[in-house]
Copies of this chain bind each other. A is one copy, B any other.
Amino acid sequence: MNSHPHQHEHTEAVLNRLSRAIGHLESVRKMVEEGRDCSDVLIQIAAVKSAVNNIGKIILKDHIKSCVVDATVTGDDTVLEDLNVAIDQFMK
């Protein structure tokens, strides 16, 4: 767990985007419940997937800009190791 106050440049934007993605996924759930056209559902699923991916990219960039740069200054190698695991998961 990091000891520095864990706020980033885009934390507010990330929270807003997460809230929107949650609302979007709830509307997709309603579409499936209502038996809406599969092609329309798939297009909305694709939009959510893309939104979640973009949120990940913002978090990754913010993380590199602050945490990784801090860790480099302090010589904390575990931050880079943890990030590499996360990148492997995120980009597969």
Question: Once the chains bind, are A33 and B45 in contact (CB under 8 Å)?
Answer: no
Q: Give how many A residues have a beta carbon under 8 Å from the other chain's beta carbons.
A: 51
User: Is the C-beta of A37 less than 8 angstroms from some C-beta in chain B?
Assistant: yes
Residues of chain B with a CB closer than 8 A to A37's CB: 1-2, 6, 82
In the bound assembly, the distance between CA atoms of A26 and B33 in angstroms comes to: 21
In the bound assembly, the distance between CA atoms of A48 and B26 in angstroms comes to: 14
Known: A29-B15, A32-B11. A63 touches B38 (CB 8 A): yes
For the A-B complex with A38-B86, A39-B82, A42-B86 known, give 15 more contacts whose Cβ atoms are closer than 8 Å: A2-B37, A5-B35, A18-B28, A18-B29, A22-B26, A22-B29, A38-B60, A38-B83, A39-B79, A40-B86, A41-B59, A42-B59, A42-B63, A45-B55, A48-B52
